[in-house]
């Protein structure tokens, strides 16, 4: 299906997103000890804008890690299977991890990653920050600890979120009617 940017309806504008991410960073800062290193994990590619913006406001020492996972491909619905493109992570034994994701939908991707980081990387604390929570679409028992926005079950793009690889660079979030 071809989609044109002129048909995109704005859901959240650029200023509101920036403001909300700063607020979310304050919520996160309040939950952690500033003296303890936090391993901040970015799920590429969708979380990249949220991740970089959020990390600027975090006050504790941060180590940045990146993984590439995908369950959507070029479609507007999950394939139900996870494609792991890069899952190269160190041990997090006795350490804290905060996973940063663009959007949680069925919960498949995050259910997989949380289990992987807890069991394989041996983290003692794994929390989850998402820019968008599509709560109504949930099929796996995953509850994000920090949520910027709850959204309806519609396909959104912008601010890292894509359709067929496009629209990730938009500084706002929109949807096609």
Active site residues: 105
Count CB atoms within 10 A of the CB of residue 66.
16
Structural contact between residues 113 and 99, judged by C-beta atoms closer than 8 angstroms = yes
Closest CA to 103 of 66, 136, 56: 136
Q: Tell me whether residue 95 or residue 105 sits nearer to ligand 5GP (CB atom).
A: 105
Q: Tell me whether residue 61 or residue 73 sits nearer to ligand 5GP (CB atom).
A: 73
Query: Shortest gap between Cβ of 45 and ligand 5GP (angstroms)?
Result: 8
Query: Shortest gap between Cβ of 29 and ligand 5GP (angstroms)?
Result: 25
Structural tokens at position 27: 């919520």
What backbone torsions phi and psi does residue 100 show, to the nearest 5 degrees? -115, 120
Binding interface with ligand 5GP (CB under 6 A): 46, 71-72, 78, 101-109, 134, 155-157, 161-163
Q: Tell me whether residue 121 or residue 161 sits nearer to ligand 5GP (CB atom).
A: 161
Query: Shortest gap between Cβ of 123 and ligand 5GP (angstroms)?
Result: 20
Place of tokens 């949520």: 147
Q: Tell me, what DSSP letter sits at residue 124?
A: S
The whole-angstrom separation of Cα 165 and Cα 45 is 9
């Amino acid at each position: 299906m071809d989609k044109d940017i002129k048909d995109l309806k704005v859901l959240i504008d650029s200023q509101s997103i920036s403001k909300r991410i700063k607020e979310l960073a304050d919520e996160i800062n309040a939950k952690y000890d500033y003296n303890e290193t936090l391993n901040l994990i970015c799920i590429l590619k969708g979380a990249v804008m949220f991740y970089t913006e959020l990390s600027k406001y975090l006050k504790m020492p941060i180590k940045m890690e990146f993984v590439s996972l995908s369950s959507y491909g070029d479609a507007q619905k999950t394939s139900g299977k996870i494609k792991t493109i890069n899952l190269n992570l160190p041990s997090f034994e006795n350490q804290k991890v905060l996973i940063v994701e663009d959007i949680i939908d069925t919960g498949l991707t995050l259910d997989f990653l949380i289990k992987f980081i807890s069991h394989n990387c041996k983290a003692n604390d794994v929390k989850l920050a998402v820019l968008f929570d599509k709560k109504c679409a949930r099929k796996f028992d995953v509850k994000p600890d920090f949520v910027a926005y709850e959204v309806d079950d519609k396909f959104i793009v912008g601010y890292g979120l894509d359709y067929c690889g496009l629209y990730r660079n938009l500084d706002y979030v929109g949807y096609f009617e």
